[in-house]
Structure 1
Amino acid sequence: MRLFSGQRAWVAQRFTAVMLLAAVLAGLMWLLLGEPLDYTRWYALLTTPVGAVLTVLIFVMLAVHGWVGARDIVLDYVQPRGLRLALLGAILLVLAATLIRVVLVLATHGAT
């Protein structure tokens, strides 16, 4: 909890917001200026090492951004400690499961 508290949380959320904005803008430029998309082009992009690493980094930034925001909301508005802990645990579980799923999907599809 202390890792993302106070000014660290503020900086982490702002940094991830800027990085996610850059990723969205780069993705939009790639979509607008590139060739038409189909399954083979997406597959080729996401199964390259660079594409897979960038995808995982985007999801990590999204998870950190979401964690800081959700944690702040729960800490501000949920008063009972037991409920607060349960909600934070559920949020953390969902974010961690999503990251694990992204890595597993990229690893299994890149191996074929």
Structure 2
Amino acid sequence: MVKQSGRIITGAHYGLKDWLAQRVTAVLMAVYIVLLTIIVFISAPQNQAEWVAIFNYPGMRIASFLFLASLMWHAWVGIRNVLMDYIKPVAIRLTLQILVIVSLMAYLMWAAEILWS
């Protein structure tokens, strides 16, 4: 806690950045889901080859990767905030945060490998 101008300041002050990140990533994910739904209804893929054809288009791969990156960022902000609010011992909280970061990065790399393989 730090006292500044008569106020007690606590925490990491992520507030506005977290709020904005959550809204921006949510909008990006919603737009992707709407576009994917439209594409699926238009092309109506019936087998794996048709699904692969949809994701062979470079724009779809990039959009899918941006969706997944937004999902990971959105998840990170939410999980970090929960850990900061409810896990008080610093060593445990930092360990959990590191595990979450490593996991989310691994999932994103795995997704990139799948999209571009």
CA contact (8 A) 2:32 2:63 kept: no
- Structure 1 stretches lacking a partner, 5+ long: none
Give 1 or 2: higher helix fraction.
1
The TM-score with structure 1 as length reference comes to: 0.85
2:109 aligned residue (71, 94, 100): 100
- Structure 2 stretches lacking a partner, 5+ long: 1-11
In terms of Rg, which structure is larger?
A: 2
SS of structure 1 residue aligned to 2:66:
helix
Query: Superposition RMSD on alpha carbons, in Å?
Result: 1.7
1:12 aligns with 2:24: no
2:33 aligned residue (7, 14, 24): 24
Residues 57-76 of structure 1: pairs in structure 2 closer than 5 A: 57-76=66-85
Give 1 or 2: higher strand fraction.
2
Moved over 6 A (4+): none
Higher relative contact order (CA 8 A, sep 6+): 1
Counterpart amino acid of residue 14 in structure 1: R
The TM-score with structure 2 as length reference comes to: 0.82
Q: What whole-Å deviation, never above 9, does each CA across 1:5-33 have from its counterpart, x for those lacking one?
A: 22111101111111111211222222234
Distance 1:45 1:27 in 2: 10
